[in-house]
Amino acid sequence: MAALGALRSCWAPARLLTGSAHHSNRLVLCQQTSIKRHFSNNKILVELDEATGVAVMKMKNPPVNSLSLDFLTEFSITLEKLEMDRGCRGLILTSASPKIFSAGLDIMEMCGKSAEHYGEFWRAVQEMWLKLYGSNMVTIAAINGSSPAGGCLMALCCDYRIMADNPKYAIGLNETQLGIVAPFWFKDTMSNVVGNRVTEQALQLGQMFPAPEALKFGLVDQLVPEEKVQSTAASVMAQWLTVPDHARQITKSMMRKQTTDKLVNNREADIKNFVSFITRDSIQKSLQVYMERLRQRKQ
């Protein structure tokens, strides 16, 4: 995979902390060495705190954190690296630039390219989903901005969603608004969180929900002031990490495996289906019109 070479990660100890702890009636002072390891590439910043076992992953793909082939490839490689790191038990996923969590799939990757490119792109989208939805880590989305379509999917893959309390930020699977269709595994991910009836309506209408609306029906779990999103994510993470890993992981797998297996057993057919759908003239036209609308809105 050519993009493998694009990953330029470096591990660098950053900071030492000292901590203290109470033990029954006596105060035990313990010198705790907390090293924060940073490993980043040009699209993803990761800081792993070895004391807590929590990694904060910040998406950094300006201007809108769209999920391009390069971005998705680096995302999956980074996630795999954290997954295999025994010192990492939890992942907080957020955006390096507030206001936009992620604009979803990069529409330019789905316009005017070859069938081969579409196939490669879709495999990378599948890979991201399989890795994030199937992660053994505790995953928390710290949604610090708007999160349409693929951005919403990423948040939905996490175990818990905290969103900035700002009605200007919206989240949802809006695919039909672009004249495209959320595939079955996007649909399943949403309906596993909010239920079939709500998903059925939201997906048909391609609805984007302002943060307060999203909270009402459980698309996100908690709203907090913008400046508290990261700290709240850290404290929720600490609670989740009090549960023994093996028990939580088996439970998570029990809840999600049926959904991931549906794609695992149909990956090639799903790619074929995507390629034949996206190469249709009418779909290409819809995407072009949508991009044009985005540009005009900006003007």
Ligand X SMILES: CCCCCCCCC/C=C/C(=O)SCCNC(=O)CCNC(=O)[C@H](O)C(C)(C)COP(=O)(O)OP(=O)(O)OC[C@H]1O[C@@H](n2cnc3c(N)ncnc32)[C@H](O)[C@@H]1OP(=O)(O)O
One residue of 88, 143, 149, 162 binding ligand X per CB under 6 A? 149
* Closest by CA position to 92, among listed 73, 108, 79, 77: 79
CA distance 85 to 54: 11
Catalytic (active site) residue 105: yes
User: Which among 23-31, 81-89, 143-151, 231-239 is the span making contact with ligand X, rule CB under 6 A?
Assistant: 143-151
Residues in the chain: 299
CB of 92 closer than 8 Å to CB of 162: no
Of the pair 82, 191, the CB lying nearest ligand X is at: 191
Q: Is 106 in the site for ligand X (CB under 6 A)?
A: yes
One residue of 6, 7, 45, 107 binding ligand X per CB under 6 A? 107
Q: What is the DSSP string of the chain?
A: -GGGGG-----EE-------EEETTEEE-------EEEEE-SSEEEEEETTTTEEEEEE--TTTT-B-HHHHHHHHHHHHHHHH-TT--EEEEEESSTEES---B-GGGGSS--HHHHHHHHHHHHHHHHHHHT-SSEEEEEE-EEEETHHHHHHHHSSEEEEES-TT-EEE--GGGGT----HHHHHHHHHHH-HHHHHHHHHHT--EEHHHHHHTTSSSEEE-GGGHHHHHHHHHHHHTTS-HHHHHHHHHHHHHHHHHHHHTTHHHHHHHHHHHHTSHHHHHHHHHHHHHHHHHH-
Binding mask 150-189 for ligand X (x = CB under 6 A): x-----------------------xx--x-xx-x------
Q: Is 104 in the site for ligand X (CB under 6 A)?
A: yes
Catalytic (active site) residue 151: no
Q: Which residue lies nearest ligand X, judged by its C-beta?
A: 104
Q: Is 209 in the site for ligand X (CB under 6 A)?
A: no
Q: Which two tokens stand for residue 183?
A: 């595939």
One residue of 5, 63, 112, 244 binding ligand X per CB under 6 A? 63
Measured from the CB of residue 175, what is the shortest distance to ligand X in angstroms? 5
Of the pair 38, 99, the CB lying nearest ligand X is at: 99
Residue among 67, 72, 105, 287 flagged as catalytic = 105
Measured from the CB of residue 158, what is the shortest distance to ligand X in angstroms? 17
A 10 A CB-CB count for 10 gives 9
Q: Is 64 in the site for ligand X (CB under 6 A)?
A: yes
Q: Is 206 in the site for ligand X (CB under 6 A)?
A: no
Q: Is 250 in the site for ligand X (CB under 6 A)?
A: no
Binding mask 260-289 for ligand X (x = CB under 6 A): -------------xx--xx-----------
Measured from the CB of residue 184, what is the shortest distance to ligand X in angstroms? 8
Of the pair 100, 263, the CB lying nearest ligand X is at: 100
Active-site residue numbers? 105, 150, 174-175
Q: Applying CB under 6 A, which residues contact ligand X?
A: 63-64, 66, 100, 103-108, 146, 148-150, 174-175, 178, 180-181, 183, 273-274, 277-278, 291, 294-295, 298
